[in-house]
Structure 1
Amino acid sequence: MADLNEEEVLQQAIQGDAEAFSHLYERYVNRIYSYIYYRTGNTTDAEDLTARVFQRAMGRITHYSDKGVPFSAWLYRIAHNLVANWHRDNSRRQEVALDDQPNLVMTGEHPEKQVVYDQEVEKLISVIRRLSPERQQLIVLKFVQQLSNAEIALIMSKSEGAIKSLYHRTLLELRTEVNGILEQE
């Protein structure tokens, strides 16, 4: 399997090869988990939803058809749908518990600086969680997954121009929200 490119592995998975699917799983599981975690803010739910993404993908891989988009876009679409259902089922927004929050940057700084940094990250996550689900998805795909506008457009089923416009409006909204917080302090 190691000498096959992704397209060849994908074709074998489509034909029912479980080992080929496991290679696709290994390639994408961390990215899908990260995407889901930042959309739910909870490791337990992110683990559960990630498992469900790959269960669903494995159950439907034989029906997968290449429509000119990367396989990852198909997985992100499944993840998006499951997260949307999760949010609908959990009517209240969940906050990221301090114990659950990933340590985004480890520094050799004084503990006081790390506490201040952690508080700033917590505030930013809180502001992002107030955005619409579509804008949250954009932020996660752009900054956490570090995808290009073209890749995001495929995943979100929008044009690249629509993504650029949404990105611009989202950054303006974030700036307004962050400035409001800073003025309150």
Structure 2
Amino acid sequence: MSSPINEKALIERAKVDKDAFGQLYELYVDRIYNYVYYRTGNVADAEDLTAKIFVRAMKHIPRYQDKGVPFSAWLYRIAHNLVANWHRDNSRRQMVALDDITHWHVGDESPEFATQLLEDKNLLLGAIRRLPADRQELLILKFVERLSNAEIGDIMGRSEGAIKSLYHRTLLSLREDMRERHGNESAPAPSRRKSLFRRPFSSRQ
């Protein structure tokens, strides 16, 4: 990816130059697509929404102002709003792409989540699916997109402190859900293999 200085210059050019915007598109399209895919769980809808996101971004980029957060957060914010509208218009519940959860990147700050992920994927998947939409989105932004709490807060329209609190409550909810539904039976020791995120569709047709 371009250095921050080059990216800022590219953003300014993109306000009046479609070719420059095309370079921004190439920089961010895979990340935005992955986010939308995890939110919808459907390839066709993810591709359609991703196209709409960048059309809207190109329309509004002349009014874009650098407020100290990454440009990607501005794109994710557009994506967040369009996906929310898509769910509302289609009366659909938030979805998580089931087949790809084992590739979520879980850092050292979330040992409990990592342990649950490795011990029993299916139990955790069920618990995640029962979470409210905003908590599912938080997990996607944190463990798939690997964004900071501040960036997530900007996208979801909440303070960094509110995101930290929501994250803590989400982990507690997952643990409680799994205990209530499956008891306190001892789980097998987790594998030492770390789970690494793999793009679900890095080479889209």
Compare 41-50 and 151-160 and name the one that shifted more: 151-160
Q: Where does residue 138 of structure 2 map in the other structure?
A: 138
Which amino acid is 1:6 matched to? E
Secondary structure of the corresponding residue to residue 165 of structure 1: helix
1:140-174 Cα offsets, whole Å, 9 max, x none, are 11111111112212222222111111110011111
Matches of 1:126 and 1:37, distance apart in 2: 18
Secondary structure of the corresponding residue to residue 68 of structure 1: coil
Matches of 1:95 and 1:163, distance apart in 2: 20
Matches of 1:133 and 1:74, distance apart in 2: 20
1:18-40 Cα offsets, whole Å, 9 max, x none, are 12111111111111111111111
Matches of 1:32 and 1:79, distance apart in 2: 7
Deviation of 1:181 after TM superposition, in Å, equals 3.6
1:79-126 Cα offsets, whole Å, 9 max, x none, are 11111111111213376787xx34845xxxxxxxxxxx9xx5454334
Retained in 2: the 8 A contact 1:35–1:140?
yes
Q: Where does residue 74 of structure 2 map in the other structure?
A: 74
Structure 1 alignment gaps of length 5 or more: 106-116
Deviation of 1:184 after TM superposition, in Å, equals 10
Q: As a proportion of its length, which structure holds more helix?
A: 1
Matches of 1:94 and 1:39, distance apart in 2: 6
Which amino acid is 1:7 matched to? K
1:33-48 mapped onto 2 (5 Å cutoff):
33-48=33-48
**How many residues get paired?**
170
1:32-61 Cα offsets, whole Å, 9 max, x none, are 111111111111111111111111101211
Q: Which has the higher contact order (CA 8 A, sep 6+)?
A: 2
Q: Where does residue 200 of structure 2 map in the other structure?
A: none
Retained in 2: the 8 A contact 1:32–1:76?
yes
The normalised TM-score by structure 1 is 0.79
Matches of 2:45 and 2:129, distance apart in 1: 16
Retained in 1: the 8 A contact 2:87–2:94?
no
Retained in 1: the 8 A contact 2:28–2:72?
yes
Distance 1:139 1:83, change over 3 A: same
Which amino acid is 1:178 matched to? M
Secondary structure of the corresponding residue to residue 53 of structure 1: helix
Retained in 1: the 8 A contact 2:135–2:166?
yes
Q: Where does residue 49 of structure 1 map in the other structure?
A: 49
Distance 1:84 1:9, change over 3 A: same
Identity of aligned residues (%): 61
